[in-house]
Structure 1
Amino acid sequence: MKLLALLYLLAMAPLHALAEQRLYLSTLEWPPYTSQALPDGGYATAVVSAAFAAVDIDVEVRYYPWARALSLVRQGKVDGLFPEYYDPEQRPNLLFSEAFPGGPAGLVKLRERDLPLRYGDHGPTGFPELHGLKIGLVRGYLNHPLLDSDPSLQRDFARDDQQNLSKLLAGRVDLIFIDHLVAQSLLREHFPQRQADIELIQPPLLQPTLHLVVPKRRVDAAYTLKAFNRGLQIIRDNGELQRLVERHGL
């Protein structure tokens, strides 16, 4: 029994050490999920902060352009990054947390454009119908796996979702891939006179979950992830996660 107790204390020690320091996390301006201008920093920021708070760990969230935020976590210069879609194959140097809810994501076009997209239960019935169309994506984002991997598709990369949406409105791309809630938030904030010009193609291609990711190269990565997952389970069990979903309108 004494040996088991000792092993338990040794296993818990790194988590206690984490509780004595502040973790630094990188993210981006991605309303309604993350933004310095939103209450609680946005929905995803509120979830991540609440999960760490549930295990007595303080976090500081720093906002960067996505490519910079991703570079920092890959280099191990921050303790973690959020929110990220789940795709370990495209992020082999990162560890993924347990999931928390996100919103729908899919293709968006100008309402006036008549594009030959045939939708089944899970999105377009094969991406050959997108050939010849210019598809706007954000550099460094994880999108639909086929949009990221099909070499025959014509991709046009933007620095962020706002620029991508601006390109669509200007007719510089035929379609963009974007989280639907992000598209609606950006339209309300930056393009209020153009909201009726945009069509969110239904059904969405994805209903992705969101994740915290941590760099494998950091010695404390597994402990950071373990602490977050434990905190996430606590706020899921006590109802706080659902309250955050409802409060932020997901």
Structure 2
Amino acid sequence: MSLFIWLLTLLLVCNVSLADDTITISTGEWPPYISKSLLHSGVVIKVINEAFALESIQTKIIFYPWSRAYQNAKKGIVDATAIWYHSQEREEHFHYSIPVVHNEYVFFHLANFDFNWNTINDLKEIKIGATLEYTYSDEFHKAFNDGWLDVQWVPTDLQNFKKLFLHRVELFPLEREPGYFLLNKHFTEKEINLITYHPKPLRSGSLSLLFNKKIKNNEKMLKLFNSGLLKLKESGKFDQYLRESQRGDYIIEDKEDYFFVYSTQKAIHFTRIFSSQMHKGF
């Protein structure tokens, strides 16, 4: 009996130790940065996994629709969620890591829609599509909450682009590179040529890994992740992984031709490559 108790105690200790060395992270589809269809689940997940691995922490990544990914982290069903812009509401519930990536939102619209803007007041009486749980800008959300900004909220970015093509909305704010990645994946070259974006960003900023404040072990996990991410950046691997992602190295596609997008300061350019060239860049 004493041997049985000893073995049971050892098993429990091992399980507790394993739990302490593992973190569960919710996320959603956000190509080309995060996607189940990408190698390593995308460059952001690769960076998160390797940053934790440098500190001997295992990760469990779970994909949800974005709204559920956030709510499950807020409720403590998972330990953390990747990755999000800063907002006051989120700061009440989460610890923020040091920035993982930097990005900016721009307004996509049909090229034949005459659009220019300088301040949030210029958006009055324009139908705008938006994605649930996204943070656009404090001014944007205040204008919507005050009732004078016409915003239609839906669960996915793809739904918003479809509404844009159908003229159900006139503007759709989204990060530029993820926006064109989504367009390239779901629409034809002819359709994509109908879309443009305004160069003035609605917002720009950094995105972080969020850790639920109510979970006891998360202050430790936050420190370990920040330490691992700094090590990854200092080693040069962080920049290397971003370059690989920009070249299209993480895209897995062998069924049909693919249109990749890369940006310059003045325009978006399209380069068509075939599956045999998938990992050669452009």
TM-score interval, smaller chain:
0.7 to 0.9
Q: What residue is the counterpart of 1:172 in the other structure?
A: 168
Alignment of 1:127-206 (within 5 A): 127-150=120-143, 151=146, 152-193=148-189, 194-206=191-203
Alignment of 1:1-250 (within 5 A): 21-115=21-115, 117-118=116-117, 124=118, 126-150=119-143, 151=146, 152-193=148-189, 194-249=191-246
Instruction: Tell me if the contact between 2:22 and 2:58 (Cα under 8 Å) persists in the aligned partners.
Output: yes
Match of 1:108, SS?
Answer: strand
Residues in 2 aligned to 1:48 and 1:199: alpha-carbon distance in whole angstroms: 32
Residues in 1 aligned to 2:23 and 2:130: alpha-carbon distance in whole angstroms: 30
Match of 1:67, SS?
Answer: helix
Aligned residues: 228
* Deviations 1:93-146 (CA, angstroms, capped at 9, x unpaired): 11110002233321111111012x23xxxxx2x211101011111011111221
Instruction: Tell me if the contact between 1:40 and 1:46 (Cα under 8 Å) persists in the aligned partners.
Output: yes
State the Cα distance separating 1:204 from its structure 2 match: 2.3
Q: What residue is the counterpart of 1:4 in the other structure?
A: none
Residues in 2 aligned to 1:209 and 1:44: alpha-carbon distance in whole angstroms: 13
Change (3 A) 1:131 1:90: farther
State the Cα distance separating 1:245 from its structure 2 match: 1.2
State the Cα distance separating 1:208 from its structure 2 match: 2.0
TM-score (norm 1): 0.86
Match of 2:246, SS?
Answer: coil
Residues in 2 aligned to 1:20 and 1:128: alpha-carbon distance in whole angstroms: 50
CA RMSD between the two structures: 1.8
Residues in 1 aligned to 2:178 and 2:216: alpha-carbon distance in whole angstroms: 34
Match of 1:242, SS?
Answer: helix
State the Cα distance separating 1:19 from its structure 2 match: 8.4
Change (3 A) 1:226 1:88: farther
Structure 1 runs of 4+ off > 3 angstroms?
17-20, 88-91
Match of 1:241, SS?
Answer: helix
State the Cα distance separating 1:18 from its structure 2 match: 7.5
Gaps of 5+ in 1: 1-16, 119-123
Identity of aligned residues (%): 27
* Deviations 1:199-221 (CA, angstroms, capped at 9, x unpaired): 12103233321210011111112
State the Cα distance separating 1:161 from its structure 2 match: 0.9
Residues in 2 aligned to 1:128 and 1:20: alpha-carbon distance in whole angstroms: 50
Match of 1:210, SS?
Answer: strand
State the Cα distance separating 1:42 from its structure 2 match: 0.8
Structure with max Cα Rg: 2
| Alignment-mate amino acid for residue 42 of structure 1 | G
TM-score (norm 2): 0.77
Change (3 A) 1:133 1:30: same
| Alignment-mate amino acid for residue 146 of structure 1 | E
Q: What residue is the counterpart of 1:3 in the other structure?
A: none
Match of 2:199, SS?
Answer: coil
Instruction: Tell me if the contact between 1:88 and 1:94 (Cα under 8 Å) persists in the aligned partners.
Output: no
Q: What residue is the counterpart of 1:14 in the other structure?
A: none
State the Cα distance separating 1:244 from its structure 2 match: 1.2
Residues in 2 aligned to 1:49 and 1:19: alpha-carbon distance in whole angstroms: 16
Residues in 2 aligned to 1:108 and 1:114: alpha-carbon distance in whole angstroms: 12
Instruction: Tell me if the contact between 2:173 and 2:202 (Cα under 8 Å) persists in the aligned partners.
Output: no
| Alignment-mate amino acid for residue 136 of structure 2 | N
Change (3 A) 1:177 1:197: same
